[in-house]
Structure 1
Amino acid sequence: MRKLLFIVFLLPFQHLAAQESEIKHSIEIFFDGFHSRDSLKIKSVCDAGLILQSISESSKGTKLSTEKASDFIKSIVSIPDKMKFEERLLSYKIQVDGAMAHVWTPYEFYVNGKLSHKGVNSFQLFKEKETWKIIYIVDTRRKG
């Protein structure tokens, strides 16, 4: 009986841990595609209606900008090979409710090995069949 109670108690936690792993994997695929300039990889984990926004902070104030997913992908694949860039995710905070997830990832962005800016990404995802798809990304950007 004790063993059964233990198993019943652990099952929800194991399910949540598996979901969180799947969600994190979708974001890792996104960034793998981002860093390798691979549009197909990026699209594999993004919904066709993906919304992208950025909040830039500077001495001139705060600005919200919106970018079409197609423009974002075109800009990524057109980055010259000689330019090296890396977005380093510092941690993941994942929240899940059924087929919806929210992921908060502080980051640092490097261009040619030098810190360019930092901030936080906020991802909204939904589970489509067996894949967690990114439907919305908003990030903050502050100079390093």
Structure 2
Amino acid sequence: MRYLKTILPAFFLVSLAAPAFAQEEKEVEKVIASLFEGMKTKNTELLQAAFHPEASMQTVIAGEEGAKLGSNSVQDFVNRISNTPATTQLDERILEYQVKIDGDMAAAWTPYRFYVNDAFSHCGVNSFQLIKTAEGWKITYIIDTRRKQGCD
């Protein structure tokens, strides 16, 4: 009986927290999806709204003698997207979201395939770091990989 008095309240609390946690994961996914929708539609307001003002972006550049790190600012990224010709469609398709949350910090791992005008360009993985601000979840950091082989 003592066991039931301990386990049932704990089970009840966990069952109440699970939907709230799942909702937070969905909110993180929505911010990331809005980033790629902004990229696809060249909507700079949508792009900028996804990022924290102090966010940074990096990419892993594979090389024969080991990886190197490439960096650029969010503003450079936004400028590149806004200057992409209207006839060029950039479409990063997220294959799945793996989201981890601890309080006001989240991490997301998102394998993707990237297309230019519906033609396959490359694949890789994005690793996002986000924080929950008064305005909601914001991306603070992205690092990604890019490759043309092993994309199946």
Do both share a fold (TM > 0.5)?
A: yes
- Identity fraction in percent: 38
Query: Equivalents in 2 of 1:91, 1:7: separation in Å?
Result: 30
Secondary structure, aligned partner of 1:143:
coil
Whole-angstrom CA distance in 2 between matches of 1:61 and 1:77: 33
1:126 positional shift: 0.1
Instruction: Calculate the TM-score normalised by the size of structure 2.
Output: 0.86
Instruction: Show the 5 A alignment for 1:1-144.
Output: 5=9, 7-57=12-62, 62-144=67-149
Give the whole-Å Cα distance in 2 for the aligned partners of 1:77 and 1:33.
10
In structure 1, the gaps of 5 or more residues are: none
Deviation at 1:85, TM superposition (A): 1.9
Question: Partners of 1:58 and 1:49 in 2: how far apart?
Answer: 29
Q: How many corresponding residue pairs?
A: 143
CA displacement at 1:61 relative to structure 2: 5.2
AA of the residue aligned to 1:89: I
Computing the radius of gyration from Cα coordinates, the structure with the larger value is: 2
Tell me, in whole angstroms, the C-alpha distance in 2 between the residues paired with 1:143 and 1:57: 11
Q: Gapped runs of 5+ residues in structure 2?
A: none
Give deviations 1:121-142, integer Å, cap 9, x for gaps. Answer: 0000000014100000000011
Q: Which moved more, 1:8-17 or 1:19-28?
A: 8-17
Off by >6 Å, runs of 4+ in structure 1: none
